[in-house]
Structure 1
Amino acid sequence: MDSGRIIYLNGEFLPEKQARISVYDSALMFGDMVFEMTRSFNKKQFKIREHLERLYRSMDYLHIKIPHTIDELEKICYEVLDRNDKVFAEHDEHRLMVNISRGPLSFYSEIFDGKVEPTVVITDFPFKWTVATMGPLFDTGVNAAIPSQRAIPASLQEPKVKNRSRMFYMMANIEVSNMSGDRNWALLLDPDGFITEGTGSNFFIIKDNKLICPEPRNILRGVSMEYVINELAPALGLEHEYRNIEPYDVMNADEAFYTATPFCMVPCTSINNYKIGDGKVGPIYTKLITKWGENVGVDIIKQIKDYGEEVSDLRAKQKTMPSTYQFVK
């Protein structure tokens, strides 16, 4: 079935199904790819510039040079969105994905007539795919499950570079999938035993009306995390602190939650099945996500629950397949 969606690949706009990258691409050989994913609210992109700024920092760190300035790449992103909007339902949101690799490795250059260049791919698909199974979690909260798999610290691989080399995320999710329960989300520790992040999300605790999140050393500095810290918390008169957090601190917190671009904020009501606070979704979390929704003009929780009902067939399939946040056997 032809979706009608268009992608951008190295200077061309192509039908989604015609997108191809080389089997010799560095992304496949080494996981040598940086990326960003955005979402829209009421079809308006949220924090796209901040995502692209982080993308360019990641490329600079890895010495990947593309022929586009940030302004040019942003313009291409919006062209992809515009070309696809006509095949999206009126109530759909856009999930934009930008993947950039070093391209084919140089010793395969003969295959490409001596020319190798970075691979730039921009895709756009319905946001509801990403959140199809998440609706019930806004009522129950997730259980933060600590696997034996540790986060890779900055001394070994820089986590502030958003990259596709994420085997340790998958190993954590596989381990957590073998634990009892159906609302387990991995929460990774660094080699010193301090909380870092989820597998594609940041983590906060709330104690005495203060937001606390891990020191931004061994974590991805999330766009959603910074939005909570720099915009939502001040608007609600909440203080914030970065510090080392141990599992003990999470167990004794009043509330906790994860943040990420697709779901914004999801409550965490237990850690290793030990209740956080009273084990229910907390009032400060509720104030924060309500304020977020007011800022963007969307009832975030209702939208995600509605999408889950709309794509119930997809939701059933996703419960049997791995995703970013959970691995299903």
Structure 2
Amino acid sequence: MSRIVYVNGNYLPEEEATVSIFDRGFLMADGVYEVTSVLDGKILEFPGHSARLERSLRELDMALPVTMDELLTIHRELVARNELVEGMIYLQVTRGNPGDRDFAFPDPAATPSTLVLFTQSKPGLADNPVAKKGIKVISIEDIRWGRRDIKTVQLLYPSMGKMMAKKAGADDAWMVEDGFVTEGTSNNVYIVKDGKIITRQLSQDILHGITRAAVLRYAAEAQMEVVERAFTIAEAQAADEAFFTSASAFVMPVVEIDGVALSEGKVGPVATRLREIYLDESRKTAI
């Protein structure tokens, strides 16, 4: 069966889905996106993702062509039509197709936004064996634009970062600016030292992760101490544990940073427990 996708009000087979070559998402990376996970056929963290989507659109003066209730209905319809049990739903909104290429924004009254959604089936997402052995990361310079709190489709440098990591025999890269770690290529990052969970504070320097917010809330409820501040690569290499969070990986342990193994390269108890808590709690609130 062909995957069914959503494009501007229509559900159609993926091979029939098209977007204009003049769409500003294609020409200018003028768009935002969200990724929600699906477990047991239910959508995780939708309120958080929809709120962040609204914020991203507002920061870029871009319109969402449907209501949030309609957007939830589209998500559920795609889950049903594709019989999605475990995986993700990708959503992208662009400033649309003004009919030609121009740096100036088009009149939103005359150029409707483009809305695209599609599913990705990922069996075993929750039971990913990588979470039991952890991943290796390298550090790279963070040269992205300054508004990383807006979840835009400008993902070329993060993609390059992942390829740098792959070339170095690692799994991902942590980006560093002015001597301090900002975030991973597609995730928020953490270290654990003497029982304290340390992660960079929210600002325009990092994405305000939905999974991040949930994990920190669950950590506090579990009486774990959380410190929100920047840290260096050297500090991370001397940590007891490290991990990252994202919508698709949940909580993922990191066991090596720039060739230095943490705790003899073994996955630590804090990351393991937080992953268990997150999966349990998120399943309870899935819709």
Please give the TM-score of this superposition, normalised by the length of structure 2: 0.88
Amino acid at match of 2:146: Q
Residue segments in structure 1 that go unaligned for 5+ positions in a row: 299-329
Q: 1:199 aligns with which of 181, 185, 196?
A: 185
Q: 2:132 aligns with which of 135, 139, 161?
A: 139
1:222-241 alignment, distance < 5 Å: 222-230=209-217, 232-241=218-227
Give the Cα–Cα distance (whole angstroms) in 1 for the partners of residues 75 and 139 of structure 2: 37
- Percent identical pairs in the alignment equals 29
Q: Which residue of 1 aligns with 2:15?
A: 17
Following superposition, the deviation at residue 52 of structure 1 comes to 1.1
Q: Which residue of 2 aligns with 1:309?
A: none
Amino acid at match of 2:117: I
- Residue 175 in 1 paired to residue 164 in 2? yes
Would the alpha carbon gap of residues 9 and 211 (structure 1) be closer, same or farther in structure 2, given more than 3 Å must change? same
Aligned length: 277
Following superposition, the deviation at residue 297 of structure 1 comes to 5.4
Give the Cα–Cα distance (whole angstroms) in 2 for the partners of residues 175 and 84 of structure 1: 34
1:249-328 alignment, distance < 5 Å: 249-296=235-282
The question of whether the paired residues in 1 share the 8 Å contact of 2:174 and 2:185 is answered with yes
- Residue 47 in 1 paired to residue 39 in 2? no
Report the aligned-residue RMSD.
2.4
SS of alignment partner, residue 72 of structure 2 = helix
Residue segments in structure 2 that go unaligned for 5+ positions in a row: 103-108
Following superposition, the deviation at residue 166 of structure 1 comes to 1.4
Please give the TM-score of this superposition, normalised by the length of structure 1: 0.78
SS of alignment partner, residue 49 of structure 1 = helix
Would the alpha carbon gap of residues 105 and 264 (structure 1) be closer, same or farther in structure 2, given more than 3 Å must change? same
Give the Cα–Cα distance (whole angstroms) in 2 for the partners of residues 31 and 267 of structure 1: 31
Please give the per-residue CA displacement for 1:158-215, whole angstroms capped at 9, x wherever unaligned.
1111111111112222322221x3x43111112x121011111110101111111012
The question of whether the paired residues in 1 share the 8 Å contact of 2:22 and 2:100 is answered with no
The question of whether the paired residues in 1 share the 8 Å contact of 2:244 and 2:254 is answered with yes
Q: Which residue of 1 aligns with 2:146?
A: 157
SS of alignment partner, residue 188 of structure 1 = strand
Would the alpha carbon gap of residues 80 and 294 (structure 1) be closer, same or farther in structure 2, given more than 3 Å must change? closer
Give the Cα–Cα distance (whole angstroms) in 1 for the partners of residues 279 and 36 of structure 2: 16
Higher strand share: 2
Would the alpha carbon gap of residues 95 and 104 (structure 1) be closer, same or farther in structure 2, given more than 3 Å must change? same
